[in-house]
């Protein structure tokens, strides 16, 4: 490993002048040498470009690409396609790596592990909240079994690309890129597409990233119609991908997991026009058979959703979604049980 480039760290940048130096410095002070930092500026209008140029001139392991403002998926894909390392790690430009995190995560690589998923520290103002995953290896010969066991292993499972170590060969050979048509949840589709080709999953309790929670100007923006639509498209396309490989009976648990998050994302729907509501419903209709078959055991979720529906401004949309998957009798029975 010492004779070739071990790691490519890919960082999309957009108007993060306040955090950018700390992000890059947290990598440069790591005690490894055989790595590269690929920074992709996505059309910043603050001083981010100047900062990137200064660092690139001083450090030979830093490469900078400049995109027109095309979104985080395009930026990450630019980094993937230009990467040379055996492994790929993503980092957001407002976050930082923890001390010695690269040496630690690289020391855990082996031929039987295709992805290492690190824990994280959540930084809220002056408070740091540690979110630890279990130290565990998922090495069943069936990829789906590993994925399901991983989903069940913690209440803090996430699909964000940062804090994880991916094998570049798997990404390139299977053409696993971020969907540039999605404005949100593109990372869900990327992550679970990658897991389909991963023979071994390893989670570690060691925190890899200091995650800045809801910084000013962050890419985490107010949820709107386009975000909800993108979330639904990401979830449904991932389900279709899994359905093309595995028997539907094997996917019962994964469907429930995805369905839960689909509605979780929908809980923040603002007031939508009738046309927008119908558009979202039409997307769900295309996957009605996939979802409906696996909803029978979700009684607790039914209660929760109905309670939310009772006061949420999006009640009409919820009713349409509910009606799509359930008969009127189920809704009435649920109402009587509350």
Tokens 């976050």 map to which residue? Answer: 95
Q: Are residue 236 and residue 188 in the same domain, yes or no?
A: no
Instruction: Say which residue, 232 or 263, is predicted with more confidence.
Output: 232
Question: Do 83 and 120 fall into the same domain?
Answer: yes
Domain presence at residue 2: no
In this predicted structure, what is the pLDDT of residue 299? 43
- At 327 the pLDDT is 41
Give phi and psi for 327, each to the nearest 5. Answer: -80, 165
Q: Are residues 40 and 114 in the same domain?
A: yes
Q: How many other C-beta atoms can be found within 10 angstroms of the C-beta atom of residue 208?
A: 25
**24 and 155 inside one domain:** yes
Residues 6+ apart with CB under 8 A from 270: 222, 223, 224, 225, 313, 314
**Percentage above 90 pLDDT, the chain:** 51
Let me know if residue 14 belongs to a domain. yes
Q: Mark which of 212, 241, 266 sits at the end of a domain.
A: 212
Please state which of the ranges 44-53, 129-138, 269-278 shows the lowest mean pLDDT.
Answer: 269-278
| Interval 114-131 mean pLDDT | 91
Judge whether 220 lies within some domain. Answer: no
One domain, residues 109 and 50: yes
Domain annotation covers residue 217: no
Q: Evaluate whether 292 touches 298 at the Cβ level (below 8 Å).
A: no
- Gap between the Cα atoms of 215 and 76, Å rounded: 20
Is 212 a residue whose pLDDT tops 50?
yes
Spatial contact of 338 and 306, defined as CB atoms under 8 Å apart: yes
What CATH number should be reported for the domain holding residue 118? Answer: 3.90.550.10
- Residues 266, 291 share a domain: yes
CA distance 314 to 155: 28
Tell me the residue range of the domain where 113 lies.
7-212
Cα(28)–Cα(26) distance, integer angstroms: 6
160/150 Cα distance (integer angstroms): 14
Task: Match 């919820």 to its residue by tokens.
Answer: 318
Residue 106 lies in a domain: yes
110 in any annotated domain: yes
Q: Which of 212, 239, 272 is the last residue of a domain?
A: 212
Inter-CA distances, 36 with 33, 56, 91, 172, 215, Å: 9, 11, 13, 18, 26
What is d(CA 55, CA 21) in angstroms, rounded to the nearest whole number?
9
How confident is residue 330, by pLDDT bands cut at 50, 70 and 90? very low
**123 belongs to a structural domain:** yes
User: Do 184 and 269 have their domain in common?
Assistant: no
* pLDDT per residue as tens digits for the range 42-64: 999 999 999 999 999 999 999 99
- Do 129 and 23 share a structural domain? yes
Residue-wise pLDDT tens digits, 17-35: 999 999 999 999 999 999 9
Residues 74 and 97 in one domain: yes
Tokens in use for 35?
Answer: 């790595």
Identify the pLDDT of residue 158.
Answer: 76
Q: How many domains does the chain have?
A: 2
d(CA 296, CA 3): 55
* Residue 182 belongs to some domain of the structure: yes
**Token couple for 124:** 């809220």
Are residues 238 and 150 both part of a single domain?
no
Strands 7-13 and 115-124: unpaired
| Same domain as 185, residue 287 | no
Rounded Cα–Cα distance for residues 134 and 180 (Å): 33
Residues 256, 121 share a domain: no
User: 249: helix, coil or strand?
Assistant: helix
The runs of H, that is alpha helices, within 244-295 are 252-266, 274-285, 288-292
CA distance 229 to 242: 20
Q: Last residue of a domain, which of 190, 212, 234?
A: 212
Q: Are 274 and 287 in contact (CB under 8 A)?
A: no
- Average per-residue pLDDT for the chain: 81
Residue 337: CB partners within 8 Å, gap ≥ 6? 303
């Amino acid at each position: 490993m010492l004779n070739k480039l071990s790691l490519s760290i890919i960082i999309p940048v957009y108007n993060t002048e306040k955090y950018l130096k700390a992000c890059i410095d947290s990598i440069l002070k790591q005690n490894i040498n055989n790595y590269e930092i690929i920074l992709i500026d996505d059309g910043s209008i603050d001083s981010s470009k100047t900062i990137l140029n200064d660092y690139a001139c001083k450090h030979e392991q830093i490469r900078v690409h400049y995109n027109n403002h095309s979104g985080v998926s395009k930026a990450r894909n630019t980094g993937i396609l230009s990467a040379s390392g055996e492994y790929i790690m993503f980092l957001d430009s407002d976050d930082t790596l923890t001390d010695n995190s690269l040496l630690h995560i690289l020391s855990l690589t082996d031929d039987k592990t295709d992805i290492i998923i690190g824990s994280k520290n959540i930084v809220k103002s002056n408070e740091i909240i540690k979110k630890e995953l279990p130290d565990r290896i998922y090495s069943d010969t069936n990829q789906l079994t590993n994925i399901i066991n991983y989903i069940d292993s913690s209440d803090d499972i996430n699909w964000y690309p940062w804090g994880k170590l991916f094998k570049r060969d798997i990404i390139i050979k299977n053409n696993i890129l971020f969907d540039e048509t999605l404005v949100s949840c593109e990372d869900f589709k990327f992550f679970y597409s990658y897991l389909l080709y991963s023979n071994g999953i390893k989670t570690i309790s060691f925190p890899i990233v200091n995650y800045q929670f809801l910084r000013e100007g962050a890419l985490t923006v107010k949820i709107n119609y386009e975000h909800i639509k993108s979330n639904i498209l990401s979830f449904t396309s991932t389900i279709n991908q899994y359905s093309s490989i595995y028997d539907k009976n094997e996917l019962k648990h994964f469907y429930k997991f995805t369905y839960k998050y689909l509605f979780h994302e929908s809980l923040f729907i603002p007031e939508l026009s009738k046309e927008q509501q119908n558009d979202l419903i039409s997307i769900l209709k295309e996957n009605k058979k996939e979802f409906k078959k696996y909803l029978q055991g979700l009684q607790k979720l039914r209660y929760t959703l109905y309670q939310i529906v009772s006061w949420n401004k999006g009640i009409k949309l919820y009713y349409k979604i509910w009606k799509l998957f359930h008969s009127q009798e189920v809704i009435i029975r649920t109402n009587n049980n509350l």
